[in-house]
Structure 1
Amino acid sequence: MRPRRGRLALALLSAVLLAAPAANAVLDGPATPAAAAAPSGTAAWRADPRRLPDPVTATPAAVHAALAGAPGSLATRYPEVVGELDGAPVALRYRANRAAMAATGAPYAGWRGRYLLFDPRGDGRVAQVFGDLSTADRIAVLVPGVDDRLANFHRGLGGKAYRSPAVQAANLYRAAGGRIAVVAWLGYQTPHGVGIDAARERLAATGAVALRRFVAGLTALRPSATIALLGHSYGSTVIGLAARYLPGQVTDIAVFGSPGMGVGTAKALHSTARVWAGQSRHDWIRYVPGLRLFGFGHGRKPADPAFGARVFPTADVSDHDHYLAPGTESLDALARIASGIGSPGRVQLAAAAGRTGGAA
């Protein structure tokens, strides 16, 4: 997005904030977002005499225990259910989602790769895996932001490949030298455009619930693996709202082009993970106010020194969408963070170590 559009975003958010007191009634709602809708085929799954784990209420750990060694026929008989079951064996989910894609037809039937999630309902949800999730000791999960949809997951917003979550995750995987597994996780409904929904946290809160469950599924499958969460733009807000509930296996959180994580400091995330942040001076997100008022805004931006994150280099990032572009210092830094292999480039400590949300 060009600077002019960034100023429009600022003007829009300012107008929203001025009107916010009148909108309080609209903002009232449950403190805990409702669970995602049951997968297609749930009724038949629940009626199966084998007493299969409930896809809505069973924890990922319970799913893992119940389906360890389950026959592959479950994936082809109940592809929509198995494909969404966090905690289910990796190979079973891959098979289920491949079957669901084939049943959905073009263009998804022709997609290549391995998928832990595929749901074409609404805007769609999808998660693609790069690397060997069943053996990797380190797993990186990339959480994208505004306007990412199933339809543009591979081709990118506006047909621009550098905006594609799948392309960005593939870049990260290659930059890390193939030593890790990377998941491009579009497991929540993102806001449509830079507008009211993007300025609020409702979609991020629902996404945070889904992300917590997804991470719980990863830890059930790979309890000895460590995890890095990387959030771009509104995806960083999703991670911020999930942070305090994440397990200790999440050792690093890195956000870039972030409008805010829903808190004012890294310490307020209540996470043991190291917290990293990057924001290019060419990124229009700098026009978005770092505040939170009347249910709008996402708080201080993580790249602000007062937030207390470790700041990684972004000098050669040209805009809001190129943090994971090949050849950039930003991609190199994020690959190091994702891999957990030391300091990511010319890192700056934005605050004292005690305020960064984790040990150095």
Structure 2
Amino acid sequence: MLRRLLPIPVVAVLWSVLGPAQVSPVPVLAVHGARYADGLAVEVVGDPATAATVVVLVPGVDTTAANFDRGLGGVQRRAPAWQARQLADRAAARRPAGAAPVAVVAWLGYHPPRGIRLAAVREDAAATGAAALLRFLRDVPAPRLVLVGHSYGSTVIGRAAARLDAGLGGRVTDVVALGSPGMGVDRAADLHTTARVWAGTAAGDWTRRLPGLRVLGAGHGTHPGDPAFGALPLPVDGVTGHDGYFVPGTGSLDALAAIANGDLDAAARHGH
């Protein structure tokens, strides 16, 4: 069924990067995805082969194939598959007349740390995830890519950032950190990418309480939401807690949709 629903190049990407798929039949033109026995997962909303922009969502700590659809603890807003659908729907609703469509991919191609333990304050998993993410992105057939990392997922993107330009020919135009504990550096300039770097952290997000430093391999550096980091501010009005960035009606979802459509002025205006 997956071969009938997705273009052959996309199927090849998913197979080669994530391994043999465990796919349930889905209707034509619906959300397509794959879940894997080793705990990895991917959800594809739209057609990456024809989209002008592909947005790739990278989730964080405690995300598994088992909760990829239902969310950690059964909380839907925490589910990457649900988040991808919300962003794709909002981007489609905001797409200017005649503009090419946007596809959204929720990508769990690495094993995030489990719980807020030593592995979560170190970057071993992020380094492994960054290498897998770069391999995946090289084969995504789109002229423009936008990366969105939630929580530890932003740390994964931070570890990949310095290789985005050379490895992907400048196709990554924007990088977004949501509720980020840090991207492994102290300043956006230290990511060494020409992509625009955006960051937003809600007032009630617990990551605000984490120390923004790195000591002996622990910690992830300055919070991207800190003005000293130098990221473009992503509006977060209406966001509740650590997992509300993709909830309809929030400034963050509207801003992400605007970025996906290349409307950067609108992305900056939301919430002001």
Deviations 1:205-225 (A, max 9, x none): 10000011111111xx33xx1
Q: TM-score, normalised by structure 2?
A: 0.86
2:201 pairs with 1:279: yes
Is 2:62–2:112's contact at 8 Å kept on the other side of the alignment? Answer: yes
Partner of 2:84: helix, strand, or coil? helix
Aligned to 2:269: 346
Give the alignment partner of residue 81 of structure 2, picking from 166, 179, 186: 166
Partner of 1:169: helix, strand, or coil? helix
Is 2:235–2:268's contact at 8 Å kept on the other side of the alignment? Answer: yes
Aligned to 2:21: 100
State the alpha-carbon separation in 2 of the partners of residues 201 and 308 from structure 1: 22
Aligned to 1:80: none
Is 1:264–1:299's contact at 8 Å kept on the other side of the alignment? Answer: yes
Deviations 1:113-169 (A, max 9, x none): 423x54212xx1111110111100111000000100000000100011110000001
State the alpha-carbon separation in 2 of the partners of residues 305 and 274 from structure 1: 15
2:68 pairs with 1:145: no
CA gap of 1:132–1:305, structure 2 versus 1, over 3 A, is: same
Aligned to 2:37: 120
State the alpha-carbon separation in 2 of the partners of residues 252 and 227 from structure 1: 7
Partner of 1:185: helix, strand, or coil? strand
State the alpha-carbon separation in 2 of the partners of residues 187 and 94 from structure 1: 10
Give the alignment partner of residue 190 of structure 1, picking from 107, 112, 115: 112
2:178 pairs with 1:263: no
Give the alignment partner of residue 177 of structure 1, picking from 84, 89, 92: 92
What are the within-5 Å matches in structure 2 for residues 1-360 of structure 1? Answer: 89-92=9-12, 100-101=21-22, 109=24, 113-115=31-33, 118-121=35-38, 124-177=39-92, 179-218=101-140, 221-222=141-142, 225-246=143-164, 247=168, 248-343=170-265, 344-346=267-269
Structure 2: segments with no counterpart, 5+ residues: 94-100
State the alpha-carbon separation in 2 of the partners of residues 94 and 255 from structure 1: 24
Give the deviation of 1:334 after TM superposition.
1.2
Is 1:136–1:181's contact at 8 Å kept on the other side of the alignment? Answer: yes
CA gap of 1:95–1:285, structure 2 versus 1, over 3 A, is: closer
State the alpha-carbon separation in 2 of the partners of residues 92 and 260 from structure 1: 33
Runs of 4 or more, structure 1, over 3 Å off, are 91-97, 109-113
> Radius of gyration: which is bigger?
1
**What is the RMSD of the two structures over their aligned residues, measured on CA atoms?**
2.6
State the alpha-carbon separation in 2 of the partners of residues 303 and 95 from structure 1: 36
Partner of 1:101: helix, strand, or coil? coil
How many corresponding residue pairs?
Answer: 252
CA gap of 1:196–1:131, structure 2 versus 1, over 3 A, is: same
State the alpha-carbon separation in 2 of the partners of residues 258 and 95 from structure 1: 30
